Amino acid sequence: MKIITIFGLIYSQHVCNFASTIKKYSDYRFLGLNKKENIVQGDEYYNQSKETFDEIYDLPRSRFHILDYLQRSILSVYAIAKLARKSDIVQFHYISRFVLPLAIVVKIFSRAKISSFIYGSDFLRANKIDEWFIAKTFALSDSIVCDSTNVLDGLKERFPKYRSIMCRCYFGSPIIDSLIKRKDNNTFKKDEKDRKTIMCGYNGAKGQQHIKIIDSLENVAKNYYWIFPMTYSIDDDAHEYIEKVRNYAEEKGLNYIILDSFLSEDEWIKYLQSTDVFIHMQVSDAFSSAISEHLLLGHILINGSWLPYKDLDDNGVFYISSNFEDLEQKLTDVIKRYSSLEESLKDNKDKIVRMKSLDYCIKNYWIPYFKDL
């Protein structure tokens, strides 16, 4: 048995599902330090996290920015020192500047191994100062792990000194497992059933470039039904941005729905199964589970040409690449050839299961990873 402390968004669906599934298939125990008190994705995940983690410290927030930072810094140092002394491994989820002092505390006050889990955007969108903090955190780490071959290659190129302790473990998504097991094909009710449905992006962050996508499809956007999943964002101005997208969609006369409230798994799957084309033109991405969900269901993925997915390419997964200039032409062509393209999408399912089934990834990647650390 090993005891693992996780520092991250403990009540988020990603961390919650990750820890609970490892616990399901092993005798590992979990402790948690929750870095953002306000990130809770529904009672389901809050309650599940409380059941999965033996102990959770929540970092409170102050009304004043400076006091907030000082208070959180002091409490996080105290909490991580206390948790690390009880742990075999401390894993940091998402390597921000805030992680470095905590890694130093772990090294000073405990014998726990440090695992730095790079999510993707923490590295891909890092400036020079961020990279300095990441490098210093890596210097204290016993292992550096990510869930994308593209990110792994980038890390090895940017931080060659730490290549020997870097590895890739696919993260996995519980939605993939649910989709595999489901026999129904429930969809949500929309007004125009004859229109193809396009899902645009997968969260409420500005980096998803929703407005730029709408602009690029100005001549054809009204021909489709649009789903904008915007239930999650860590941007401080997320509410304002969602309203901006809503107002812009209204201004352009789109037939659309914005999903900005928490959805149960069943509700989310209904929207997924209603989709024909998924347009993903995010600024940067490390190989999100959202992409895999659409590919598993046989949807056509139109992906930003600047987002290379070596994992998909290496496994022969079919998808369409496009820049903004060609997006309208690519989408129009895809819709015309939709029936003929469906045959090319059938082989995607088995390939995605091996990369993104949560059960498969936990049993074949993560439990061996923690065992060997």
Per-residue pLDDT of the chain (373 residues; tens, 9 = 90+): 999 999 999 998 889 999 999 999 999 999 999 986 555 555 778 888 999 999 999 877 656 666 777 777 888 999 999 999 999 999 999 999 999 999 999 999 999 999 999 998 899 889 999 999 999 999 999 999 999 899 999 999 999 999 999 999 998 888 899 888 886 665 655 555 568 999 999 999 999 999 999 999 999 999 999 999 998 776 778 889 999 999 999 999 999 999 998 888 889 989 999 999 999 999 987 677 889 999 999 999 999 999 988 899 999 999 999 999 999 999 999 999 988 888 788 888 888 988 999 999 999 999 999 999 9
Residue 61 is predicted with a pLDDT of 65
**d(C-alpha 213, C-alpha 356), whole Å:** 27
DSSP 8-state symbol, 365: I
The answer to whether the pTM exceeds 0.75 is yes
Q: Give the domain range for residue 126.
A: 3-172+358-372
Q: Are residues 335 and 189 in the same domain?
A: yes
Residue 355 C-alpha from the chain's centroid: 14
Residue 191 is predicted with a pLDDT of 54
**d(C-alpha 42, C-alpha 16), whole Å:** 12
Q: Are residues 58 and 99 in the same domain?
A: yes
DSSP 8-state symbol, 101: H
Looking at the structure of the chain, the number of domains it has is 2
Q: Are residues 165 and 119 in the same domain?
A: yes
Q: Are residues 216 and 80 in the same domain?
A: no
Q: Are residues 189 and 326 in the same domain?
A: yes
Residue 190 is predicted with a pLDDT of 55
DSSP 8-state symbol, 118: -
Q: Are residues 335 and 295 in the same domain?
A: yes
Q: Are residues 310 and 204 in the same domain?
A: yes
Q: Are residues 121 and 185 in the same domain?
A: no
Q: Are residues 285 and 213 in the same domain?
A: yes
| CATH code: domain of residue 257 | 3.40.50.2000
The CA-based dihedral angle spanning residues 233, 239, 242, 247, taken in that order and rounded to the nearest 10 degrees: -170
Q: Are residues 117 and 33 in the same domain?
A: yes
Q: Are residues 161 and 211 in the same domain?
A: no
Q: 């919650």: which residue's tokens?
A: 16
